[in-house]
Amino acid sequence: MIQETLITTVNTKGVPHIAPMGVSVQDQQIVILPFKPALTLDNLLETKSAVVNYCDDVRIFAGCLTGRRDWPLLPAERVKGSYLADTLAHAELTLERIEDDAVRPKLFCKAIHTVNHKPFQGFNRAQYSVLEAAILISRLGRLQWEKIETELNYLRIGLEKTGGDREWQAWGWLMEAVEQHRQRGGF
């Protein structure tokens, strides 16, 4: 199973970075798979640590993809770095092993400290819609407009039926990014 999370890392100067990443659990290790090049990968290799944030504020996913990366952070307790102030839970990770690859290396990490901050509120279809739309937007340069339009039309149903303010705001940022891409002649 892959869980869509936000990975927070820092470089050796302590500059933080937030990126949406899917992670999986294999033999009690958390596996992160960044496509090269990625700042998340560079930071993880530099500091050998990261934080995985289990967060239902989809604005952060959409925000990171649309240039809004300045989200409140709090210092991690056991590793170099920080966690998202708004996260439901977080796990502090140390890098144990790398399976290198020219395209997408596998980083096997150990969770050395896990904290629950708030209860899980249940599934929400609009949050799913925003996550799926964010993934489409992260591949704008590689997908045909017809596919994007068809999928966005379907995803909009869940948004309209179940979305709250955060989901609508996140959706708006993503649609702006699609529009900008179209205006630049991307489709």
Ligand X SMILES: Cc1cc2nc3c(=O)[nH]c(=O)nc-3n(C[C@H](O)[C@H](O)[C@H](O)COP(=O)(O)O)c2cc1C
Binding site for ligand X (CB under 6 A): 4, 19-22, 33-35, 38-40, 61, 65, 131, 134-135, 138
Q: Least distance to ligand X from the beta carbon of 102, Å?
A: 14
* Helix (H), strand (E), coil (C) string for the chain: CEEEEEEEEECCCCCEEEEEEEEEEECCEEEECCCCCCHHHHHHHHHCEEEEEECCCHHHHHHHHCCCCCCCEEECCCCCCEEECCCCEEEEEEEEEEECCCCCCEEEEEEEEEEECCCCCCCCHHHHHHHHHHHHHHCHHHCCHHHHHHHHHHHHHHHHHHCCHHHHHHHHHHHHHHHHHHHCCCC
Is the CB of 77 or the CB of 130 nearer to ligand X?
130
Give whole-number Cα distances, 133 to 16, 118, 155, in Å. Answer: 25, 26, 7
Is the CB of 111 or the CB of 135 nearer to ligand X?
135
Q: Least distance to ligand X from the beta carbon of 139, Å?
A: 9
Is the CB of 122 or the CB of 141 nearer to ligand X?
141
Q: Least distance to ligand X from the beta carbon of 164, Å?
A: 19
Q: Least distance to ligand X from the beta carbon of 129, Å?
A: 12
Residue whose C-beta lies closest to ligand X:
40
Q: Least distance to ligand X from the beta carbon of 44, Å?
A: 9
